[in-house]
Chain A
């Protein structure tokens, strides 16, 4: 794998994570528990879609085949997507989304902190903006973690279950493969093993302060770095890509 190929895949992963997470969060539109939260969720979705556009645009430029960010979002198949599995899981109930968001926003804050110092100036620029946004997403998820964990018996039960169910999707976030190793040496990406220990230090106290038991799991899901996904992604794409696929000659 050349450095350029590694960079392309890496940018797809950053872009796809934001795109698919944003797609799922936008499903809260008109479905929030109250209007303010409806807006908060779709606002976080909007930040994510904006971020995905920036990363995919850069990916298209690195690829150098005259594609656009929309070609990459709308014309790749499910085996060519690299988003983490956790982002494509259904939104579930509000507790499930909060748990997803806590896991992902802790991860995003740490990753974008590192990437804002990337030797690749374009990545550093996008990451600096993403970091500012992710800090808000983190605060939002953290505060809801406290509310749900310590709110009522029902909210605690739902939130505990969500954290339990999602935990097996967290291992994948910190996998280092050929792409990451090449780019780490170049000073472009970061060391995900270090991110892992920082992530644990960040999320554990929040879960403890939310009276949530830390799950123990004997298996971690994996696959997205090879483009192997859950069954959910295909449905997301058939929905998201519908117009571009049905009318390939049309410009929107």
Chain B
């Protein structure tokens, strides 16, 4: 095989904005980068089921309970598409889960924060899914075909989640004094971690260089963060929530908001394992994965028996 030629055609495809498909020859580093990014995305969907799952049993109405259950199922479903997209790159789901358990693969930092009140379910839907959408909309045009196609479907569902989360916040802001306090408190706790979801400033983003060349990443961390802030500030104002940033100010020249400095020490500390729930989230995932081993073995043994009949 003439690798140079293949890489050349890989480059040509990129230049012409064609998708790269699983059977195409691609540079090893492109493959590795995608496995890292898509698996991190898949793990995030799955670990994110924990903080939201924390409120299923206590959801305050039958309607709210159904919406939350359906939302969490959507997230699990996104995890499935993304694991499948990742498997097309030649790695198995078992290996990906092993990497997660060994700490070699990460998941979104945001899920290392706890969901303390019902308003947190609103804040997660509105802010966390809202931030995720901004990122995922741009990924609909990412260069790897299976990832781009997964994003199209995921974005449709995430925009529902975002509206449903906003509805929870709006209802609470329209409610009793205690409900309004709960909603503002959730806003205060989730705002900054949501901004951190876009990653470090462009000047400090270690994986971005190649990702742009390969058209995996199409917009920078700061561009995406700005987009999120600009669309969210107004939504907060409409329902009477205050953004917990004294320096937040409309900038006429850039037609966007200026914001205060993000606490990057906290970001680094949580990413490196010392957030409120890092240990809890991983222990939970490991525990139930291990507890399910006998079920997976039984299913495999039965499938084996049946295949012989």
Contacts and interface: CB of A to CB of B under 8 A. Distances in A.
B284 interface: yes
A173 B73 CA distance: 31
B53 A150 contact: no
B302 A252 contact: no
A242 B58 contact: yes
B56 A26 contact: yes
Contacts of B62: 19, 49, 52-53, 56, 69-70, 73
Interface in A205-252: 236, 239-240, 242-244, 247, 249-252
Q: Of B57, B178, B296, B305, which is in contact with the most chain A CB atoms at under 10 Å from its CB?
A: B57
A146 interface: yes
Nearest to A95: B295
A146 B298 CA distance: 10
Q: Of B60, B168, B291, B295, which is in contact with the most chain A CB atoms at under 10 Å from its CB?
A: B295
B159 interface: no
A90 interface: no
A94 B171 contact: no
B65 interface: yes
Category for how many chain B residues contact A: 35 or more
Contacts of B58: 239-240, 242-243
A125 interface: no
Nearest to B70: A46
A25 to B, nearest CB: 10
Interface residues of A, number: 50
B11 interface: no
19 contacts: A19-B62, A29-B49, A29-B69, A29-B72, A30-B284, A30-B285, A33-B295, A38-B49, A39-B73, A45-B69, A69-B62, A74-B61, A93-B291, A151-B297, A151-B299, A154-B298, A239-B58, A243-B118, A250-B176
Interface of B: 46, 49-50, 53, 56-58, 60-66, 69-70, 72-73, 76-77, 79-80, 83, 118, 168, 171-172, 175-176, 178-179, 284-285, 288, 291-299, 301-302, 305
